[in-house]
Amino acid sequence: MSTMRSVRTGAVGKIEVVDAERPVPGPRDALVRIRACGICGTDVTFLRMGGMPARAHLGGELIPVPLGHEPAGEVVEVGAEVAGLEAGDRVVVDPQAAPTGIIGCGGRFGGMSEYLLIENAEVGKSVAVFPDTVPFDVAALNEPLAVSRHAVNRSGAGPGDKVVVFGAGPIGLGAAIWLKLRGVEHVVVVDVIPSRLEKALAVGADAVIDSAEEDVVARLTALHGQSANALGQPRPGTDVFIDAAGAPAVFDTVVRSAKWHAKLVMVAVQKKGEIDLGGMLRSELTLIASQGYPTEIFEVTPELVEHQERFARLISHRVPFAEAERAFELALTPGAAEKIVVTLDD
């Protein structure tokens, strides 16, 4: 039996690097050697829980979770019935297409492993091929960029709109890039960490706001002009708000800032807080939820290839697989890193 190293949840706040059986592809499968895999906030959630509840008794015993749902790698073996793939192809993966459960999110397999089995491998459905001009670490951004692309698609923002993105993490910065690539007139990014705001400007945001130091409503008014809500009360002229932070203060700020018929796209998982429904009513604010990437997972791949240098700036840390424990410690430390990609080289 051949083995491989794989990362899974351990004790609360810890990972385990274990020896696991190397998968053997069937006639409809492909085996991918993972070369890079990003760390996501969902991974951090599993770490803080110490696993996830077993499906048979939710809320009971926690079971280990194979981690990693942002992989990129190289095909090393292809089943006889697989079309359009061959050994040597460089691929990104749709973790939600796995029939045995979402890769890295409770499914049988995790992408933070030396090898990953792609069950029922199908180009355009479970994998997409990318050229060797794109580094594996940049290709590993494909999945989070699909999340941010879906949020932008849900917003309906167009060239004439003025947009603000709350949260300058990978999803928020990805959204800012997609907004500018589609020609949105003015994009503002809000955060409390100066280095993240500098990154926002570097990837193309028109302006940034440090909400720890500045009055967000006043700054938005200065940047986007003055409008009003349904009662004629003065409000910034911002058309679309994208919440990639999930903090209650963001929701409160949006309700205080929203002009008549503004839209709020909620892509971050919301923390507990009270909602001012009256404030929403006074602006006829449209709340739009954005979950995952129903169609965007490979829609983003060609543009990731085209604009790879711009998207590469999202990566703050590249950590070798041998130091995976350090990579996850960084991810668990608030403000210590922006986007961490674990690399698996020769």
Give residue-wise pLDDT tens across range 93-127. Answer: 999 999 999 999 999 999 999 999 999 999 999 99
Residue 57 has pLDDT above 60, yes or no: no
Per the domain annotation, does 306 fall within a domain? no
Decide if 144 contacts 150 (C-beta within 8 A): no
Number of domains in the chain: 2
The model's pLDDT over 300-345, given as tens digits with 9 standing for 90+, comes to: 999 999 999 999 999 999 999 999 999 999 999 998 899 999 999 8
Domain check: are 236 and 152 in the same one?
yes
Residue 292 has pLDDT above 70, yes or no: yes
55: pLDDT confidence band, cut at 50, 70 and 90? low
Per the domain annotation, does 296 fall within a domain? no
Domain check: are 52 and 162 in the same one?
no
Domain check: are 137 and 160 in the same one?
no
Residue 73 has pLDDT above 60, yes or no: yes
Domain check: are 191 and 282 in the same one?
yes
Domain check: are 284 and 337 in the same one?
no
Please choose, from the candidates 306, 331, 332, the residue with its C-alpha nearest in 3D space to the C-alpha of residue 317: 331
Decide if 164 contacts 241 (C-beta within 8 A): yes
Q: Where are the beta strands (DSSP E) in the chain?
A: 3-9, 15-21, 30-38, 52-53, 62-63, 71-78, 90-93, 115-118, 127-130, 162-166, 186-191, 207-210, 226-228, 234-236, 240-243, 263-266, 286-289, 317-320, 340-343
Domain check: are 242 and 163 in the same one?
yes
Per the domain annotation, does 294 fall within a domain? no
Domain check: are 156 and 282 in the same one?
yes
Report residue 278 as tokens: 């009256």
Domain check: are 135 and 162 in the same one?
no
Residue in the block written with tokens 């998207």: 311
Per the domain annotation, does 305 fall within a domain? no
- Range of the structural domain that residue 185 is part of: 147-289
Mean pLDDT value across the chain = 95
Burial grade of 301 (CB within 10 A; 0-12, 13-18, 19 or more): buried
Decide if 248 contacts 266 (C-beta within 8 A): no
Q: How confident is the model at residue 60, as a pLDDT?
A: 62
272: pLDDT confidence band, cut at 50, 70 and 90? confident
Neighbours of 117 (CB within 10 A): 21
Phi, psi of 130 (to 5 degrees): -125, 155
Per the domain annotation, does 300 fall within a domain? no
